[in-house]
Amino acid sequence: MIYFRYAFRELQRHPGRWLISLLSVVIAVAAIVAVSSATVTTRMAYQQVFEALSGRADLEIVAHGGGHFNQGIAEKIREVPGTRAIVPVFHRGTIVYGDDDKAKALAVGFVPDNPESLAGLEIVEGKLPERINEIAIQSSLASALGLKVGSRPRLLTSSGLRTFTVSGIVEPETAARLRQGGMVLARLDGLQRVFRSRDAVDALQILLPEEADAHDAISSYARVLPSELKAQVPSSRSGLAEETLLLTQVSLNMASALSFTTAVFIVLSVFLMSVGERRQQLATMHAVGATRRQIVRMISAEAFLMGIGGTVFGIPLGVYGGSFLIRVMGSLLQTNLPPAPDLRWAIGTGAVVGPAICLLASWFPARRAARVSPLEGMRPVVDMEQRRPRRRTTAIGVIGLALSLLLALGTMRGYLPVFAAIVALIISLVATVLLIPALLGPVVALVGYPLRRVFGLEGEMSQRIVMRRLTRSSLTIGVLLMAVSASIGTGNAVFSITEDVRSWYERTITADFLLRPMMPEMTGEQAASMSESFGKQLSAMQGVKMVDSISMARVDAGGQEAMLVARDFSLYDQVPLDLIGGDPEVVLRKLRDGATVVGSVLAERIGVEPGDTLRIVFGEQSHEFPVAAIATEYTFGGSILSLDREVAKKLLHVEGVNTYLIQARPESIVQLEPKLAALADENGLLLQSFTELWRVINSMVTGVTGGLWVLLALGLVVGGLGVINTLTMNVLEQTREIGMLRAIGMRRRQIVKTVLGQAAVLGVIGVLAGAACGLSLARSINLTLGSTFGRYVPFVMRPEFVALLVIAGLAIVMLAAIFPARRAAQLSPIEAMRQE
């Protein structure tokens, strides 16, 4: 406890200094808590859903790629020794229509005479459905739509809107089925009929005896299963959701990692200052018997207290930011996620991150303080700055740059995961900071020449002061370099990607209107489809030029989970895909003849190129297709296969229509929209115009980039805090010198110019170096993501954006210098000269 008393007393002596450091820790904790908790909450939400759907099963029988298959195979499975029970699984996304409102839901089928299919559910009112036109509805969904036992809501199915009677209200024993607004329970045979999937199931769950080993049982079931099916331990089937969120997670994690690193450097600077001005105190403690270990513990206690403070204030901000990011991720996945992150994860993450930042930053200053001998530390004037940069630091910086280059090359070539790029980025920035002391002398001389013309003699004094405090100046420049390079690098990369998204959308969506049951989920979960006869009704409407039908199905492609998108390519004169190379006319002809076009991400994952053949498995059907071309895709994480609808129906038995693309005659667009809207309302469908869908896509992009900009703006603020810290400490250490200068006639205005000149030197070097590193970083991000996602996004350089950030960075630096400058100018010469 004595260490904490000393630490608390030291924090009270310099509240302003520690407050600035605390703010940087708070920002870093908030950023990391927001990003990590939002990502984990999203992943856990999907994991819970799939765990709920797999129930208490020991094994599950599924089709390769996740398609449906005939439930008759259960008879063969039941003959395998050790099979205790088999539960058919059938679930479809739907929309429940109450009297005044509607909501997304998950329709789940159960077998009345199989009690295991009802495991985890409790009837709180009424009874289970006995007829095929009855349903039991989850209590939260019933409350939201005003439904009760006896109500007659409508459900959107593949057969259109169907009216059901609510026979009971159910409540899951866990909250895992709350996604999509709730769950609807119906007889399996009834759901199969209305969703046009007679005798089909999505999976068969198997319950084994308690003493049975699941992995040993898999080989027994494999002997009776056809090649299209497999037995496996129940696991999360959210691969497409992971792919969709990958780019967002990488960007946000990169920004939060930069916040962590800049906070470490600011706290490091503060502790170096603190140890430097307390050398006499520390030496005295050594002289009276304090050991090196006790000195280290005392400084570590200060760091720990600051970390606790950063945690306490950073967690609430992080939870608020996490809620915003969860909404962003929900819009990307087109699903409802928990409104706030898991508090247990947020608190756990913050409790580790805050102290970790401060303890990591205090390690070197604590060791440095412990090495101070009593005689050395008790000298009246001690300059902690080394006149020459250490060769070891420079060598570590060079090695760090080489290591970051190797990590980046490994990521680009696919040998390392994309998250290794974040590690490479941090290592490269830290290595660059370590090289700053060796390069600072000539750079300051170069920058100082034009500044001397602006600040005069005060500018020359500013240069000398910057070079006298070499370590502190290097750390401040390093913080600015990180903040500016992160903003420019990530910003330019975001511009490149968003431009490419817009270009892709304009090439692939050629319709004026889209008609579908609901927005597709990026998880690939099978949703309600529409009847193919509905397309004939649309084609017959006056003003309609063309109707394209899109069918989607989750499949297995070369051992990788993917989404099959089947379209009527015979209707097009130009291929409606964003091809990467290849003759569009030749590709369109090959598509009509039965070839497939593979999304760039999927092609990179499974290693296929145009001219190869690819085996696609859907349920019990499989076929090899020639690869006609590779195309850019942003939906479903880029794991897309494009196929002609007639080919998909004939060879893979893909039925139903998930979306109708309607192209209107130019003169009939205005008149056609209200007719389509009335038809959509009558059938419970979702109608979107090209303009409306464009707004949806823009809102998704804006949501992701908005969260990224907030994190990057916080990085610039952290850089400003670093400048305030450095200049304030410079003023405190120069108190006696400032008093002497004031005594011999230097005016307050000149003192202010001297401090502002220091800020200008630090700002110009840090911001301009950050801009150069940022452009290099942007190019590296493009190359890294290109190797990961199968194509290289064209690099977009925005000079106006770079100029704006440079000006903003310099403005923040100069504004941050105002407070230290005014403080220096207000010092009394007599009181200042009394300071040692």
Position 644 scores a pLDDT of 93
Whose tokens are 């001690």? That residue is: 382
CB-side neighbour CA atoms (13 Å) of 271: 30
CB-side neighbour CA atoms (13 Å) of 87: 24
Nearest to 797 by CA among 519, 571, 492: 492
Position 179 scores a pLDDT of 42
d(CA 706, CA 699): 10
Position 596 scores a pLDDT of 94
Q: What is the pLDDT of residues 367-405, one digit of tens each?
A: 877 776 776 655 554 444 444 446 788 888 899 889 988
Together in a domain, 653 and 632: yes
CB-side neighbour CA atoms (13 Å) of 25: 32
Tell me the two tokens of residue 453: 């013309």
Together in a domain, 223 and 264: no
Q: Please answer whether residues 527 and 604 qualify as being in contact, where contact means their C-beta atoms are separated by less than 8 angstroms.
A: no
Q: 766-802: string of b/e by CB count within 10 Å (b at 16+)?
A: bbbbbbebbbebbbbbbbbbbbbbbbbbebbeeeeeb
Together in a domain, 61 and 173: yes
Together in a domain, 715 and 806: yes
Position 145 scores a pLDDT of 87
Together in a domain, 228 and 271: no
Query: Given 654, 684, 714, which residue is the final one in a domain?
Result: 684
Q: Please answer whether residues 757 and 455 qualify as being in contact, where contact means their C-beta atoms are separated by less than 8 angstroms.
A: yes
Q: Please answer whether residues 492 and 801 qualify as being in contact, where contact means their C-beta atoms are separated by less than 8 angstroms.
A: yes
Domain extent, residue 335, equals 1-54+240-384
Query: Does 150 reside within a domain?
Result: yes
d(CA 783, CA 777): 10
d(CA 148, CA 320): 35
Query: Does 523 reside within a domain?
Result: no
Beta strands 165-172 and 134-138, pairing class: parallel
Partners of residue 443 on adjacent β-strands: none
Q: 251-267: string of b/e by CB count within 10 Å (b at 16+)?
A: bbbbbbbbbbbbbbbbb
Residue spans of alpha helices (H) in 147-238: 188-194, 214-222
d(CA 487, CA 777): 10
Together in a domain, 168 and 224: yes
**Which residues of the chain register pLDDT less than 50?**
175-180, 236-238, 381-389
d(CA 314, CA 316): 6
Tell me the two tokens of residue 126: 């009424």
Query: Given 217, 239, 261, which residue is the final one in a domain?
Result: 239
Together in a domain, 223 and 258: no
- 123 membership: H or E segment, kind and range: strand 121-126
Together in a domain, 753 and 803: yes
**What pTM did the predictor assign?**
0.64
Residue 645 sits in a domain whose CATH number is 2.40.40.20
d(CA 493, CA 777): 9
Tell me the two tokens of residue 716: 């610039």
Residue 127 in 3-state DSSP? Answer: coil
Position 704 scores a pLDDT of 58
Nearest to 176 by CA among 111, 236, 123: 236
Q: Is 472 left (phi over 0), alpha (psi -120 to 50) or beta?
A: alpha
Residue 307 to residues 7, 269, 310, 352, Cα–Cα distance (Å): 12, 15, 5, 9
Together in a domain, 604 and 485: no
Query: Given 189, 216, 239, which residue is the final one in a domain?
Result: 239
d(CA 646, CA 592): 9
Together in a domain, 220 and 95: yes
Nearest to 302 by CA among 9, 694, 24: 9
Together in a domain, 460 and 538: no
d(CA 549, CA 531): 10
Q: Please answer whether residues 275 and 14 qualify as being in contact, where contact means their C-beta atoms are separated by less than 8 angstroms.
A: no
Residue 684 to residues 96, 119, 156, 528, 646, Cα–Cα distance (Å): 9, 32, 7, 12, 27
Number of domains in the chain: 4
Q: Please answer whether residues 419 and 426 qualify as being in contact, where contact means their C-beta atoms are separated by less than 8 angstroms.
A: no
Residue length of the chain:
836
Query: Does 515 reside within a domain?
Result: no
Position 453 scores a pLDDT of 74
Query: Does 497 reside within a domain?
Result: yes
d(CA 499, CA 794): 9
Together in a domain, 254 and 226: no
d(CA 243, CA 635): 9
Query: Does 689 reside within a domain?
Result: no
Query: Does 471 reside within a domain?
Result: yes
Query: Does 724 reside within a domain?
Result: yes
CB-side neighbour CA atoms (13 Å) of 9: 7
Query: Does 372 reside within a domain?
Result: yes
